Chain A
Amino acid sequence: MDLKTIPLSTKTVLIITALIIVLGSVQTTWELVKVTGLRQQHPFVFGGDAFTGVKDIIQGEKYVSYITDKNLNIDKNIAEFSQAQFSLAPVILDLNNPNHRFLLINCESKPHAQAVLKYYKAQPLRQSNLGVILAAREDL
């Protein structure tokens, strides 16, 4: 293909495309450098990893109740639930349905979690560093 024979309209589109690519490259590089810098200060942590410590106990269960008093309209909180579900699959986390033998309690505060344990007469089995409690209901 001889570039000289390419019509002006096509040349115009190709030149604009090339300019946008240059701008896009600068923008992409800037964003990647920015996030890479952030990662050096705060390494990536997957939220679901905080829940994997209970896998051995709940293995073989179909459902585990995920009890939380956190506002699930806030992205961070629903993401925490989704990532817990991801890490504990194929166990199904039943959100705020307490009618299962095991309860995974992830509350805003320790007193709230204690109140949940007391209300459902559940026995705590394991607690993570972040305050997530796995408990077993005695009545089910």
Chain B
Amino acid sequence: MIYLLPSLISFGQGFLLIRLLTGSKDRPRLTWCLFAGFLLGLGISGFLTFTSLVLFSRIVPAYVIGINVAALAGLGLAQKRSEWTKASLQASPRELGVILALAALTLPTIIQAFLYPFGGWDAWSCWNLKARFLFLGGSEWSNMFDPAMWRSNTAYPLLLPLINVWSWCFGSEPTYLVPLFNSCLITFLMAGLLYFSLEALNGLKLLNLLAPAFLLLNAFVLKLASSQYSDLLVGTFLLLALMGFLLFKRTKNTGFLQIGTLALGFMSFTKSEGSALALITIIVLAMAIALDRACHETISHHIWKLLLTLAAAFLASGIFKLQYAPDSHTYINGFISTEKPAGIERLGAVFVFLGKEVLSWKWNGLWLLTAGGLILARGKALKAGLWTIPAILTAYLAIIIGFYWVNTFFDIVWWLSTTLNRILFALTPAVILWLFLALPLDNNNTPVPHRQPPRSKN
């Protein structure tokens, strides 16, 4: 039970930060703030745990707990009392029912997680292994970067291990229950964020439950969700970042952009692929803002605030890359290597495998249905800022395909068969969000992000 306490502290941090950033005027409903806040809080706690490594060159549990509690208290004190109205803290019976339904949808993931309590292969050979080095290694934690550890992806950043270490700081043992619990929690947060994001932007209400149900009632997806890998976290942060942008576009409240920026910063500290995805997302969203005059004008009044948020969000991944991350031990540039050249047949293999993967029945037709739905939605799939989602996904996949082609360290078939499904899995929440926002809801063809949903009254 003691391990629930760090989660509650993280939740408090994120929830209070969201209230602080959005202000009372355009704040979304409490339920959205709960899920988005919890996710953001996990990132904050992981980041604050990282400062222990920077300041003391080791994990000092008393410091980690102290700094997290201090952050919670600081955020609490920074709140405006006048904004804590009853209305801003109320959820409707329907919303409470939805939360129960989302918990029920997460149940198969929880059962699966207990059937494989140590998670999937990369949980014990990479993510949780890094967490154990951090927690048990004392000042020698950086031994995880030793060349002999090359199988554990030494260059990968540390947010997920740090989130687990944050919880372990409340006990003396690195119990397997913490990563297990966190993987189920993040799955639940992803489902809730997806549902309440859709509800904030379209008028489908309970029909939006189809979106998380489509993901979580898929045997393959729940296997990946319960595997204790970082891809789930990458996907959920991307979802939050996109929502930050879409809500900013609708309300012109820069607080949402700050939330999205923080999500991108945390995503870049989660996985190397997350760093690439964060960079692409920033470029695409910056273009979208530059092209929208109203957004552009709003931004110009808050540019320093946003730049400061950007710097804070990417501080941890920046320090990690400059100070700690070793060169990748699993990289051969196939364009210059004579031993392992990157031939055109390698690129062909990547495309063939990608095609087979998206057509595979293990996804329960997710990619086909999405493609079909978007075709039926016609031009609406690209209107009202929704074009940013395919732009981000296409650019990201192009980089991933390029990397599979250039890096000839691994046998391509083995590498694709073990990693490509996870990369696609990380994109599923964003893809489902796109599909459900692109579907026309009436014959007026109004793109859904322009609709005005009910908001909490303050």
Contact = CB atoms under 8 A, between A and B. Distances in A.
A95 B146 CA distance: 13
A125 interface: no
A97 B146 CA distance: 14
A71 to B, nearest CB: 15
Interface stretch (A27-35, A106-114, A127-135): A27-35
B297 interface: no
B439 interface: yes
Interface string A4-21: 011101101110111011
Contacts of A21: 210, 213-214, 217
Contact of A14 (B112, B210, B222): B210
Contact of A1 (B146, B222, B377, B441): B441
Given A17-B369, A85-B125, A89-B133, A24 B442 contact: no
Given A13-B369, A90-B143, A46 B148 contact: no
B205 A35 contact: no
Contacts of B318: none
Nearest to A82: B125
B175 to A, nearest CB: 13
Interface centre among B128, B213, B443 (most CB of A within 10 A): B213
A59 to B, nearest CB: 10
Interface string A85-100: 1100110111101000
Interface residues on chain A, size class: 35 or more
Nearest to A91: B143
A52 interface: no
A62 B145 CA distance: 12
A26 to B, nearest CB: 9
B305 interface: no
A93 B152 CA distance: 12
A57 interface: no
A92 B205 contact: no
A36 B116 CA distance: 10
B441 A5 contact: yes
B331 interface: no
Contacts of B144: 90
B354 interface: no
B2 interface: no
Contact of B141 (A13, A20, A90): A90
Interface string B161-196: 000000000000000000000000000000000000
B376 A12 contact: yes
A123 interface: no
Contacts of A29: 108
A124 interface: no
Interface in B206-263: 207, 210, 213-214, 217-219, 222
Given A7-B442, A13-B439, A83-B118, 6 more contacts: A1-B207, A17-B210, A18-B210, A82-B151, A89-B132, A90-B132
Interface of B: 108, 111-112, 115-118, 121, 124-125, 128-129, 132-133, 136-138, 140-141, 143-144, 146, 148-149, 151-152, 203-205, 207, 210, 213-214, 217-219, 222, 364-365, 369, 372-373, 376-377, 435, 439-443
Which are the 10 A-B pairs with shortest beta-carbon distances?
Answer: A90-B137, A9-B376, A1-B203, A82-B125, A89-B132, A24-B217, A86-B124, A13-B373, A10-B439, A28-B219
